[in-house]
Amino acid sequence: MKAVPLLLVPLGLLAGCAGGAPPHGIEGPVALGQLAYAGGPRVRPDRLIEDSRCPADTQCIWAGRVVLRATVFGGNWRKQVDLTLGTPVQVADGSLTLVAVSPERKAGAPTSPHALRFTFAFQGGL
């Protein structure tokens, strides 16, 4: 039987604990009206302003965009912001990004805003 150096045992135990929290404060997916913890602030998607994404089963010249109005809560403050998919917005001591919207759009099949799910990431707050 081969001996394992004692230095490697704690590293293996730490690696087993790493699966608890999402990386970089990513949280979601959540529906409109649900509250997400984004690694610092809490975010509630309130209203879909625009969903002009190119349907997954078509070819488009422009990829389109998603704009979401959300309320961001932190400590004893709150702020309403418009988040555009993939574009960071300065919030408190960091930046909040809408990183994903699902499901993808399908041609000829409109998706209700209440069926959409939103994923956020927060960078900063150190």
Query: What's the total number of domains in the chain?
Result: 1
Short-list 117, 76, 116, 92, CA closest to 39? 92
The lowest-confidence range among 8-17, 30-39, 65-74, 79-88 is 8-17
94 domain residue, yes or no: yes
**Residue range of the domain that includes 81:** 24-124
32 domain residue, yes or no: yes
pLDDT per residue over 41-86, tens digit each?
A: 999 999 999 999 998 888 889 889 999 999 999 889 999 999 999 9
Mean pLDDT value across the chain: 81
Contact 53, 104 (CB under 8 A): yes
Contact 95, 123 (CB under 8 A): yes
